[in-house]
Structure 1
Amino acid sequence: MSSLVRAVVAVLLLTLGVGCASESTPQAPSAPAQADVPPPLVPAMALPENAVEDAVAKLDGIAERLLSESGVPGMAVAVVHAGETVYAKGFGVKKVGEDGAQNQVDADTVFQLASLSKPLAATVVAHQVGVGAIGWDTPIVTELPWFALSDPVVTQMVTIGDMLAHRSGLPDHAGDQLEDIGYDRRQVLERLRHLPLDPFRISYAYTNFGFTAGAEAVAEGAGKPWEQLADEVLFEPLGMASTSYRFADYADRPNRAVGHIHADGRYQPTYVRDADPEAPAGGASASANDMTRWLAMVLANGSHAGKQLVAAEALLPALTPQIVSSRATEPAMRSGFYGYGFNVGTTSGARTELSHSGAFLLGAATNFLILPSADVAIVALTNGTPSGVPEALTAEFADLVQFGEVREDWYGLYSKVFAEMINPEGSLAGKQPPADPAPAAPLSSYVGTYHNDYWGPATVTEVDGGLQLTLGTKFDARLSHWDGNTFTYTWVSENFPPGSVGEVTFDGDTLTIADYDEFGMGAFLR
């Protein structure tokens, strides 16, 4: 199974300071003694003079270089410092193949955020926690009595916070392929009960639909849909007029960036990614200018326009470690952590860093990064298959702020990892069929409806002298004979990149789809 979000989490280890600076890098002056400041708040070195201003001055060049090197169609970048937006600009185009000024990206262009939806969602939850409507430790079943996991004990114990910290024990990206084939939010969440669990609260595995379950419990407690709750408690109070958790709102924006998939060596606006089923975890859209309002509020510990929009004591748990997300592999290495919807780490300058990436294979890559001790935050939104561009830009900016220079080849590091993560999937991808394959049985012998509790029914029909396989409401693929009772198919989805080749095997009344067998549940019975 391919997952761009999994790739983002892996790559984020670099952003959290795993990379080491060159030994020849000159060190900034040590911070002066601060007897009145607790040691955990003292950074390793002082910021360079005019640190943020000088870093901002270099953003145009960084953005233009990264777009040129990567071929990504468009990007919007914004910076917040000391409560003000000090930079907001667009680069490139909204859609490849269209000309004119109206196609140029600006700071008000709306992008799909992908997993940047999670820290926004965590802020909505923090608001509800702050007003006493819900708690981070509220069990999911208190609000969603129909929800269950495979272990009945864990079902009763798993909380909203567990889900937003990815520590429920659910497998990595559980439920994502159910969304791929067309199931809606409730249908996916109900099927999570069939999945095996890792040890509860000591295992970290990134799960969009686990996160969504936590958000749904909060919405149920508020008595309104998640999308409406987010509007009322966060987007409207902050004046984020172009931000929404509804795909239809994004699609209706006249100033929006279209998603582009990277295939055949170029970015193409071929597919549309509707993430409504996992909206709290991946379905938001916003402009860079809108995101600055949220970033400023987070930097101000929940305060906006002189009022406490989100209680600081309710927001703090989201911004601080709740579980180890990337454990160090040697004593000198810094580990990475996850709060509630936020990556939390420590830079090589001994400064806490909050961040998150978002990624759609079908056409979105986003990143934000906050350095609370420098009172600065940056966001970068792009409209192409992830290649490390937004992560590299924010990492270069963070280096400039802390050290006055870029200390790593961030784009080289990120682009390599992302390139490996979007390779074609499937056990037969890139392979040649047998030169002398065994014949298939009569096609009619394969026809029928095959049942599976997790995936739902798979239907095989005979159409125009061949076999057609349908699964869910979106998967509809032509089967091509490979060898004996083995067939292949191709299709493109968020988790099945171009060039992937799936494998289907028939054995009497059993149909096995190899690419849907990750949890040992790929067998369908006729």
Structure 2
Amino acid sequence: MAPANAQIPPETTKPSARITSAVDDVVARYDLPGIAVGVVVDGKIQQWEVRGETSTGSGERVRRDTLFKVASNTKAMTAALLARQVDAGLLSWDDPVVKHLPGFRMHEDWVTREMQVRDLLIHNSGLGPGAGDLMLWPEPNHFTRADVIAGLKHLKPRWSFRSRYAYDNTLYIVAGEVAAAVGGAPYDVLLRREVFEPLGMDGCRIGEWRVADAGSVASAHVTREGKWAARLDGEVVTDMPMAAAGGVRCNLDSMLRWTQAWLGKDGNGSGTDWLSTQQRTAVWTPHMPMPLLPRMRDWNGSHFYAYGYGWRLSDVDGTSKVAHTGTLSGMYSAVTLLPELGTGFVILINAEAGEARTVLEQVLSKHFTAPGEKRTVAYYADELARERSARPSPPAEDPPGAIAADARASASRSAVAPGELASWLGEYRDPWFGDVSICASESGVRFQSVKSPRLSGPVLDADGRLLVDFDTLESDADAWLDFAQPSAAGGPYPASPQLTMAKVDPDADFSYDYEDLHFQRIGDCADR
């Protein structure tokens, strides 16, 4: 690895025309607004490729120093921070979480007692995928890290602790607070001190920062009416509670430094004193088995898939692969390391472009693991298209309600008059998400969240079923509203109406975890 104060060297090996062509092809196939890609071979930068604009129509070109959200690639950085603290003797991976955060509680007391620091990083909590994510996204919101940690005791597990893999973000927030507790400083301060500064990653941002002071900043993009629409940052990016799970932004240069730090001078992670060999091994050890997808077997001949500390581990064409992706609010990223080949690469895209990321990551991986195959962007894009077309229709024995609900997702929608919901209007409370109001408005009835203002919008009727059409979110975030009147008294507000929610689009991101919400009416609508 280059010394921390060194500049990223110019390309010292011949760039690959196939890689250049693959980037061009994926931009053209998916009409991406902007992308930055870099490749490390044997500890050196082989090449970098940038295309497009930071914000569509702005004329500002993406550069190597353009900041992108790396999203869940932050998780490996949080794990590295903890590994540095283990090296320093400040904690052990098998420390109980309550040793460092005495107020930490899960829904079940035995899980609270048994949960160790390592468990915070490997998605084995027993919670459903994305449980509690509505305290983190959409951003900005008014939740704090203390709110997230306090809310965990209200999230009911779906499975037994340590019994299976299910991706979560909220426990990474806890991990960041463990680091803060033992390090004697806030998470963002520690991440800069223990990760960014030693590795020379001065093109990364965490915590609160001003956009005007950051230079080139990529905007997230989503599709609206078939076109890319930018989501611009405000003047200040605030220190959001989700920082330790997905809050880092970095430019390509710094992400290539991150790649070099893990591959090392000789490509296998040695040659640096930044992290001990023992902790490097711990981070890249398979700690939690993950389902091996058919596509991984078919495309890559993979035999195993597992989660380490902030990294996903697998094998591709007979060689090891260490990787992670990031997905957040119109930004997609990927970091892929092939340690036995001394190779790694970074993909940063400022758009909702999961398929583009999958295709390009596959082509670049194969360039090194199976160079003779020469499969292109078009090949893998067509494979994904075939997968979509081959998905079976719901079997005849499926519950009629499931099919009907799916049909209603595209049904005609109309505003609901307050009189139609008179028995349900009021203020509601969920023990972890907090308060919402469902009250009369000038245009009908409005759902309004107190702590997550972007989760607000009109209540509509879709062929007899109620939904909320959130003002500032894409249509796949809409939620069904299901009211019920309990038959017997219960809870702090006897016989009060209850509200549950569910995704209108069953394939929407699991971070819209409406199914974990259980509201109870706590009072009448306030005068407005």
Q: Return the TM-score normalized by structure 2.
A: 0.79
Q: Report which stretch shifted further, 302-311 or 190-199.
A: 302-311
Gaps in structure 1 of 5+ consecutive residues = 1-51, 421-425
Cα distance change, pair 218–146 in 1 and its aligned pair in 2 (3 A): same
2:315 to 324, 332, 346: 346
SS in 2 for 1:167: coil
1:345 is displaced (CA, Å) by 0.1
1:483 is displaced (CA, Å) by 6.8
Deviations, residues 53-92 of structure 1 (Å, cap 9, x unaligned): 6773322111111011101111111111222222123111
SS in 1 for 2:148: helix
d(CA) in 1 for partners of 2:353 and 2:174?
A: 26
1:177 is displaced (CA, Å) by 1.6
Is 1:78 the counterpart of 2:38? The answer is yes
Paired position in structure 2 for 1:289:
253
Cα distance change, pair 522–378 in 1 and its aligned pair in 2 (3 A): same
1:398 to 365, 382, 386: 365
Count of aligned pairs between the two proteins: 460
Cα distance change, pair 414–438 in 1 and its aligned pair in 2 (3 A): closer
Q: Does the CA contact (< 8 Å) of 2:418 and 2:439 recur in 1?
A: no
Deviations, residues 264-294 of structure 1 (Å, cap 9, x unaligned): 2221103659782211111100011101111
Pairing 1:376-395 to 2, within 5 Å after superposition: 376-395=343-362
SS in 2 for 1:72: coil
2:434 to 428, 450, 456: 456
Alpha-carbon RMSD across the aligned residues, in angstroms, is: 3.2
1:370 is displaced (CA, Å) by 0.6
Cα distance change, pair 397–507 in 1 and its aligned pair in 2 (3 A): closer
Tell me which amino acid in the other structure corresponds to 2:20.
Answer: D
d(CA) in 2 for partners of 1:150 and 1:58?
A: 51
Is 1:480 the counterpart of 2:460? The answer is yes
Fraction of identical pairs, as percent: 23
2:18 to 54, 58, 67: 58
SS in 2 for 1:388: helix
SS in 2 for 1:457: strand
Cα distance change, pair 418–289 in 1 and its aligned pair in 2 (3 A): farther
Q: Does the CA contact (< 8 Å) of 2:134 and 2:433 recur in 1?
A: no
Cα distance change, pair 378–266 in 1 and its aligned pair in 2 (3 A): same
Tell me which amino acid in the other structure corresponds to 2:243.
Answer: A
1:515 is displaced (CA, Å) by 2.4
1:505 is displaced (CA, Å) by 3.9
SS in 1 for 2:346: strand
1:244 is displaced (CA, Å) by 2.1
Paired position in structure 2 for 1:191:
151
Deviations, residues 373-403 of structure 1 (Å, cap 9, x unaligned): 1111100101001232233223212211122
d(CA) in 2 for partners of 1:93 and 1:196?
A: 43
1:524 to 516, 520, 523: 520
Cα distance change, pair 80–229 in 1 and its aligned pair in 2 (3 A): same
d(CA) in 2 for partners of 1:478 and 1:190?
A: 30
Cα distance change, pair 109–285 in 1 and its aligned pair in 2 (3 A): same
1:307 is displaced (CA, Å) by 4.7
Q: Does the CA contact (< 8 Å) of 2:264 and 2:272 recur in 1?
A: no
Larger RCO (CA under 8 A, 6+ residues apart): 1
d(CA) in 2 for partners of 1:192 and 1:415?
A: 39
Q: Does the CA contact (< 8 Å) of 2:483 and 2:500 recur in 1?
A: no
d(CA) in 2 for partners of 1:115 and 1:333?
A: 23
Is 1:156 the counterpart of 2:156? The answer is no
1:123 to 69, 80, 101: 80
Cα distance change, pair 351–442 in 1 and its aligned pair in 2 (3 A): closer
d(CA) in 2 for partners of 1:414 and 1:210?
A: 32
SS in 1 for 2:430: coil
Tell me which amino acid in the other structure corresponds to 1:449.
Answer: E
SS in 2 for 1:234: helix
Is 1:357 the counterpart of 2:321? The answer is no
Paired position in structure 2 for 1:104:
61
SS in 1 for 2:209: helix
Q: Does the CA contact (< 8 Å) of 2:38 and 2:256 recur in 1?
A: yes
Gaps in structure 2 of 5+ consecutive residues = 1-11, 392-404, 486-495, 504-512, 523-528
Cα distance change, pair 239–199 in 1 and its aligned pair in 2 (3 A): same
Q: Does the CA contact (< 8 Å) of 2:79 and 2:309 recur in 1?
A: yes
Cα distance change, pair 324–54 in 1 and its aligned pair in 2 (3 A): farther
d(CA) in 2 for partners of 1:438 and 1:344?
A: 49
Paired position in structure 1 for 2:409:
429
d(CA) in 1 for partners of 2:95 and 2:55?
A: 44
2:502 to 515, 518, 522: 515
Q: Does the CA contact (< 8 Å) of 1:504 and 1:511 recur in 2?
A: no
d(CA) in 1 for partners of 2:230 and 2:260?
A: 33
Paired position in structure 2 for 1:170:
127
Pairing 1:211-226 to 2, within 5 Å after superposition: 211-226=172-187
SS in 1 for 2:54: coil
d(CA) in 2 for partners of 1:244 and 1:192?
A: 28
1:355 is displaced (CA, Å) by 0.6
1:461 is displaced (CA, Å) by 2.6
Q: Report which stretch shifted further, 389-398 or 317-326.
A: 389-398
Q: Does the CA contact (< 8 Å) of 1:357 and 1:391 recur in 2?
A: no
d(CA) in 2 for partners of 1:153 and 1:232?
A: 35
Q: Report which stretch shifted further, 240-249 or 142-151.
A: 240-249
1:298 to 239, 242, 262: 262
Q: Does the CA contact (< 8 Å) of 1:446 and 1:506 recur in 2?
A: yes
1:88 to 48, 54, 60: 48
Is 1:143 the counterpart of 2:130? The answer is no
Cα distance change, pair 187–251 in 1 and its aligned pair in 2 (3 A): farther
